[in-house]
Structure 1
Amino acid sequence: MTLRRVNLVILVLLAVAFLIVVQRNLLNLSDFLHKESPDAGLILPFESELSLDLRRESGRKGEEIPVLITAAEDRLGAVVAAMNSVYQNSKANVVFTIVTLNDTVGHLKMWLSKTSLKNIKHKIVIFKPELLSGKISKDPQTLEAAKPLTFARFYLPAYIPETEKAIYLDDDVIVQGDIQELYETSLKPGHAAAFSDDCDSASAKGIIRGAGNQNNYIGFLDFKKEAIKKLGMRANTCSFNPGVILANLTEWKNQNITQQLEHWMELNTQEDLYSKTLAESITTPPLLIVFYKRHSAIDPLWHVRHLGNTGAGNRYSAQFVKAAKLLHWNGHYKPWGRTSSFSDVWDKWYIPDPMGKFSPVRRHS
C-alpha cells in the first residue's frame, strides 16, 4: 500500500471517528432533554428555565413579543390571571419571562404545567436579591415596598438580553386588548422607555382626594434636598406609572439606564431623597429622575389605573372598563381580595391553583 493510500485511509478513519463522537454527543443531549420533564424545562446558563413547548402552537406566528412579569409566592394568582389575559386576547407570538425567587419556582411550574397555560412560551428566571445590597433603605416603614422583585424592571436587558424591545407588566393587571398593539407603540428617537403619564385623561379620573400628590413629581421626591434641586426638575411635572413599561433595550443598554437607577437608589440610602408622602412604590422615584422628560407616551387606554384605590375604581363606568385595553389595580385593594372594584373582570382570567395554596378572598366567603 502506497503512502498516499495510507494517508487516505487514516483520513477516512478520522472522519468516521469524528462522526461517532458527534452522534454520541447528540444522543446524550437528547437523553438529557428527555430526562427533564416538559414541566421542568431546559436549564439555561444564567439560572433561568425555558419551556419546551416553544414550537407547539402553529397559530401564533410572527415576531416574538417579549413580556416580563414578576411572580411573588403570595401573588401567584395575580401572575397567572395577567398572563392568561395576555395570552387569550392576542394571536401574537408572545414569550413570557417570569422573574421569581427560588422558593416559588416549584409552585409556579406546577400551576403552569397543570392548567390551560401549559402551552405558553416562557422562561423562568431567578432574581438574585443580593443585587440590591446597599441600594435600598432598611427603614422598617419601607420594607413592604422594598420587596426584591419590585426592582426586577430595573434590570430588563439582563433578563431579556437578545431583544430590541420588551414589555414589562406589573402582576396586578388584566390585558383586554391585543398586546401586539402596545408592542408596536412608537418610541421617540433616543428614548429608552415609554410610560403612561399620570395626568392623562384616563388615569386622572381615578385620582383620589387626600391620597397625596400622586400625579406629579413632588408626590415622590423631596425637592428640599440639594441632590434633587441640582437636577433642575419642576416639582409639578406630571409623573408616570411604571407598572407598564415599553422598553427599547438597545437604548436602555447604550444609556446605562440600569446603572443610573442604581446610582439614585444608593444615593437615597445616604440622603433620603424620597417624599414623605410617597405614593405606594419606592421603585418609582429613581425612574422619575432617570426618565425626566426623556420618555415616550403609552396610549392611556393601555394603562387605566387606580382600580386598587378606595373609591377610585367606582368612578369608572362599566362601559369605560370594558373599552380599556389594560386595567391596573394599583393601590392597596387587589382584585383577588374582598373590597376591590371590578373584581368580576379579574375573575374571568383567573385559573384556580392546582395545589390549592392560593385562592381569591370574596365577600361571600
Structure 2
Amino acid sequence: MTLRRVNVVILVLLAVAFLIIVQRNLLNLSDFLHKENPDAGVILPFEAEFSPDIRLQTLRKGEEIPVLITAAEERLGAVIAAMNSIYQNSKANVVFTIVTLNDTVDHLKVWLSNTKLKNVKYKIVIFKPELLNGKISKDPQMLEVAKPLTFARFYLPAYIPEAEKAIYLDDDIIIQGDIQELYETNLKPGHAAAFSDDCDSASAKGIVRGAGNQNNYIGFLDFKKVAIKKLGMRANTCSFNPGVIIANLTEWRNQNITGRLEHWMELNMQEDLYSKTLAESITTPPLLIVFYKRHSTIDPMWHVRHLGNTGAGNRYSPQFVKAAKLLHWNGHYKPWGRASSFSDVWDKWFIPDPTGKFHPVRRHTGDN
C-alpha cells in the first residue's frame, strides 16, 4: 500500500508538472502571437479600430510603413483615392492610420470593406477636438481653416506610438510612385521631419505669387510682432509645405515637437502672430517656427504641388504630371470638384462610394 501510494503521489505530481508546462507554453504562444500581431486587442486612449483582416495579411512583407491620413466626412472620397493610389502602386507593407471623427467611422468602414481596399491594413483613430481647447480660435469666421483634423499631424507620435518613423499625407494627394522610396527619404541627424521647400524647382512654377508671398515666411507670420522678431528668423526664408511629412518620431518625442507646436498655437491666441495677408492657414505657421532651418528636404518629384490653385496647375505639362511621383491638389480647387486641373488623373484612383453618399462633381455630367 505504501509503495502504491507513493506511485500515485508521483503520478499526480507528474500530471501537475505537465499541466504547468502546457499552461506556460500556451502563455508563451499567446505572447508570441501578440508580438506578431500587436494590434489585436489593443485599446488606445484615443479610441481606435483595426481592419478586420489585419491578422490575415501575409502577402506584403518587410518593414511596416506607417502612413497617417485624415478623413473628413465631406472629403472621404479623397482619402479613398489617396489610399488606393498608394496600395496599387507599391508592394510595400503599408499600414494606414486613419484619423477621423466619430460621425465618419461607419461610412469609412463600409467603403473600405466593400471595395478593392478590403485587404488594406489600417486602424481608425478618433480625433479628440478637446485637444485644441485654448489653442485655436472659436470664431465662426475661422471654422473653415480651424477644422480639428488639420491638426492631427501635430500629434503623430501619439497616434502611431509603436513606430520610429512615419509618413503624414494630406487627403488631396495621389501617389504615382512606390511609397517605399518616399519612406526611405534620408533625414539629417537631429532632424525630426522632412518637408518640401516651396522654392524647389519642381513646384516653383506652380506657386501663386503675389498677396502674402506664399513661398516664404513673411507670407505666414507677422514679423512686426515682438515674439516673432525675437526668434531672429529671416522673413524671406523659403517656406515649406506640410501636406507631406516624413517624420522621425523618436526625434519628435525627444525634442517635444508636439508641446512646442502647442506653445505657439497658444501664444498666437494671445498675440495674433500670423500674417494677415494669408488668412488661409493656421496649421502651417507653428510648423514653420518650430522647424525653422531644422528640417530635411523631400525630393521635389515626391511632392508636386499647387494643382488646386487657380491656373497654377495648368502650368504643368501632362508629361510632367505623369512623371511626378506624388501630386498634391493644395489650394481651393479639388480634383473631385468642377474646376480642378488634371482631375482625370485623380479619377483613375477614385473608387465609387458603395453607399452613394459621395461622388465627384463633374462639369461635363452636371453631377452634384
TM-score, length-scaled by structure 1:
0.91
Query: Corresponding residue for 2:340?
Result: 340
Deviations 1:175-234 (A, max 9, x none): 001000010110000000000000101121111243421100000011111111110000
Partner Cα separation in structure 2 for residue 297 and residue 217 of structure 1: 16
Partner Cα separation in structure 2 for residue 58 and residue 106 of structure 1: 26
- Among 2, 8, 12, the alignment partner of 1:9 is 12
Query: Corresponding residue for 2:176?
Result: 176
1:19: how far off? 5.8
Partner Cα separation in structure 2 for residue 216 and residue 21 of structure 1: 61
Query: Corresponding residue for 2:240?
Result: 240
Deviations 1:120-142 (A, max 9, x none): 11111111111111111123332
Residues 260, 246 of structure 1: CA spacing in aligned structure 2 closer, same or farther, 3 A cutoff?
A: same
After TM superposition, the structure 1 = structure 2 runs for residues 344-359 of structure 1, keeping only pairs within 5 Å, are 344-359=344-359
Deviations 1:32-62 (A, max 9, x none): xxxxxxxxx9653112111232354544221
1:279: how far off? 5.5
Deviations 1:231-254 (A, max 9, x none): 000000000000000000000000
Q: Does the 8 Å contact 1:96/1:122 carry over to 2?
A: yes
Identity of aligned residues (%): 81
Residues 72, 213 of structure 1: CA spacing in aligned structure 2 closer, same or farther, 3 A cutoff?
A: same
Deviations 1:95-120 (A, max 9, x none): 11101111110000000000000001
| Number of residue pairs matched by the alignment | 352
Q: Does the 8 Å contact 1:42/1:52 carry over to 2?
A: no
Gaps of 5+ in 1: 28-40
SS for the counterpart of 1:69 is strand
SS for the counterpart of 2:206 is coil
User: Which stretch has the larger CA shift, 138-147 or 186-195?
Assistant: 138-147
User: Which stretch has the larger CA shift, 277-286 or 74-83?
Assistant: 277-286
Deviations 1:132-157 (A, max 9, x none): 11111123332111101000000000
After TM superposition, the structure 1 = structure 2 runs for residues 1-365 of structure 1, keeping only pairs within 5 Å, are 6=9, 9=12, 12-13=15-16, 16=19, 44-46=42-44, 47-54=47-54, 56-278=56-278, 280-364=280-364, 365=366
Deviations 1:248-272 (A, max 9, x none): 0000000000000011011111111
Partner Cα separation in structure 2 for residue 132 and residue 282 of structure 1: 12
SS for the counterpart of 1:201 is coil
Residues 234, 57 of structure 1: CA spacing in aligned structure 2 closer, same or farther, 3 A cutoff?
A: same
SS for the counterpart of 1:252 is helix
SS for the counterpart of 1:362 is coil
TM-score, length-scaled by structure 2:
0.90
